[in-house]
Each structure stands twice: as structure tokens, then as C-alpha cells.
Amino acid sequence: MEPKTYTYLHLNENLDPEDYVICDYRVTTDMPMEKAADAIAAEQSTGTWTGLTTLKKGVIDKYGARVTEINGNNIRVAFPSEDFSVDIGGVPQILSVIAGNLFGLEALKKVRLEDVRFPKSILEQFPGPKHGAAGLRSVLKRKEKPLVGTIIKPKIGLSPKEMADYVYESGLGGLTNSKDDETLTNQVFCPIEDRTVAIAESLDRLEQEGIHMIHAINISTSGHKILEVADKVQSLGAKQIMVDVITCGFAAVQVLAEDPSVKVPVHVHRTMHGAMTRDRDHGIAMLPIAKLVRMCGGDALHIGTLGVGKMSGDVGGDMDNLRACTDESVPYKTVMPVCSGGVYPGMVGRLVERSGLTVQIQAGGAVAGHPGGVRKGAMAMSQAVEAAYNGIPADKYAETHEELKLALEKWGMK
């Protein structure tokens, strides 16, 4: 069937990227791909399932999405920038266009948003990171080496004092970062105010001993409360805050980045992302999420473990996420990519080979689970990062570093 029979098909049309939001989708369907692509463009812009008496002449030409490329199961759709709200729309409205009703189209078996590129007119509406990777390095006085951190384990169940002791031991072991886990917020066994104060005291002790470290307090909560909680924990000494972007929403990241009361870096966790990203043929890839987090102002973002950790993912996809954090062609500060999820010292070398030095490597179980305890677990992770930074294989470095040796004996090399 001739492409011209489809209203929204404009294959190989040369468009000015500054006038469009350009999206790549992967589509699974039994219908001709031209028809499927046309249906997506129609549903997400000016069309519907039937003819309209209200459709004025020129509306489709001006506001209709345009299918510019079909390559097997992959299609490219360009949405006119005029389709997106100015100022008040933000990410919620953007997602309603590029990742909205199309997932429910009955004729499509599966569809996945793989990538999105925004014009300058939209990018300039968002703040980008307030601190970014360079800001984190400055706070930690760590110019070149990868950051190395921990997630306090167990996820829940420790008291504020126990968490503070964990942070202090981690700092003595050489870590630069620690954080709450995604499920810990303000439970009765570990109230957020008590936890923040206790951890701040540990960080102050470390600072007095010449050790620079920060901890991210998880402030994930209801939208109307998040600034209040951010202000509260900052007043109690928090040096970094964390927000779960999928469960709280992109607007939560944006308000933290934009509000002048928030002075500390924002660490962004991606919990629940797998509900959208895990199926390679349906949902939303992590890459668009990473780009939106950077636009909204996240300073650090979990990107996966570049194919070597416990979480589902692939090297190519995780590398795309890393590049989205560090790409200097967009008008924002770079985001610190965070590799976390089943990380242990024996895999650090491979991680750094793939990530480069601009990365934050985090381990929870490998710190708390070390045979020598938290401090020696932190030392083992720090030694693994030091070895990778200097291009020395971990097993070679372990010959003169007992903590790393014990970790390799327990978990091996990868």
C-alpha cells in the first residue's frame, strides 16, 4: 500500500529538529507497519478513530505528528513543539503526548518508547542539575577518582544510631557516599528527623578527622509535602537528599531543583522503573527517563550496572543511560551516573572500564556483608576503586590489601 494513503506518514522528510520533539518507538503488530505508525501519530496528536466535524483545515498540517522513518519494527515520530505546553505543562504533559494512550491501542501488540530528543525551546524551560557531577566532586574534594558509596543494609530495621554508626564506619573505611535505601522514609523504628540528626553528627565527626563524606536522606513523600520535608532535613544537617523519581514523579525532582530553599544535591533513585523498562518490546526504556531526570534537575541518577550487577539490564542500554547523564551537547550540568545493585569489589574493575572515571559506584551487601564488618567492607570497596583508577587488576592489588583479598575470596572476580 502506498505510504501516501496514510495521513501522518511523511517518510524521509527533512525536518528542523529545533521545531519538533523526536521520538523513536519499537512496535510489535500484525498490521502493516505504515498503518501502525500512522495510528500512533494520530492518537498522540490530532487524530482519533473516526472523522471529525470539528477538525478545521490546516490543523493536521500544523499540529499533527509526522512519521518520518520506518525501519523494520522501529519507527520515528516527530511531534511539533507547539503540541507541548509552555511553562505549566512540564513533564506530565510531555509524557501524555510521547508516552500516553499509544500503549493501549488495541491494534498494537506491544510498543516501547526507546528515545526522545527535545528542541532548545523545551530544554530551556527546565532547570537541569543545580550541582551535578562537578558539584558533588567539589563537595567531596575528589577531583578525578570515581565516587564510592554504600546503601545502608538491611534496607529497613536499623535504628537512627545504628545507621549513624554504619555511616561513620563506612567513612573510616574510605567511602565518599552513603544513602538510605528506597523503602526507608519515616518509619516508627527510624524516624527521619532522628536519623538525619544522628547521621549528620557522624558526618561532622568524619569531617573533623579530615574525611569528606555525604549521605542521602530519602525524602520521598506526597507531592505537597516534599519541599517541607526537604527543608526540615536540611535544617537538621542533611548534606544530600534522595527522591524516588518514578513513585514520586518527575515534578518532585523539578521542584527540589528549582526551589531556592534546597541547597544540597538531589540523588535520584529509579525504584519501580522495571515496571516500564524491563520488557524490551513494551513500555518505556530507561534512556528517556534518564534524559527527563537531567532536565528536571537530578544531580545523581541510578543508571544500572553496565551489565555486571544483579539488576536486569544490558550493557548497551546502561551505556546509553550513562551518556544521557554526561552528554555535553545539552545545555545542562552533567549528572553523576550511579552504578548500584549487586555490586561487589570483584566487579569494580569491569565497571570502571565501561563507565570511565565519572561514576559513583555503590555497594550495600558487599559492605555490610564483608567478613570483617562494615569498615573493612568499605575498605575493600575503596581499594577496588583505587585499583581500577590505577589500572591494576583487583586480584593483583589484593596481594597487599587484606580487606580486598577477603572480599575476592568471598564473592570472586567478574
The residues annotated with a catalytic role in the active site are: 153, 269
Instruction: Give me the sheet containing 74-80, strands edge to edge.
Output: 66-71, 74-80, 20-29, 108-117, 283-284
Q: Taking Cα atoms as reference points, which of 132, 121, 145, 131 lies closest to residue 325?
A: 132
Cβ atoms within 10 A of the Cβ of 122, count? 17
Q: How far, in whole angstroms, is CA 354 from its chain's centroid? A: 17
Cβ atoms within 10 A of the Cβ of 19, count? 12
Alpha-carbon gap, residue 186 to 163, rounded angstroms = 14
| Backbone phi, psi, residue 87, to 5° | 70, -65
Alpha-carbon gap, residue 353 to 32, rounded angstroms = 43
88 three-state secondary structure: coil
Helix (H), strand (E) at residue 363: none
Alpha-carbon gap, residue 289 to 272, rounded angstroms = 12
Per DSSP, helices labelled H in 119-244 are 120-123, 132-140, 160-172, 192-208, 226-235
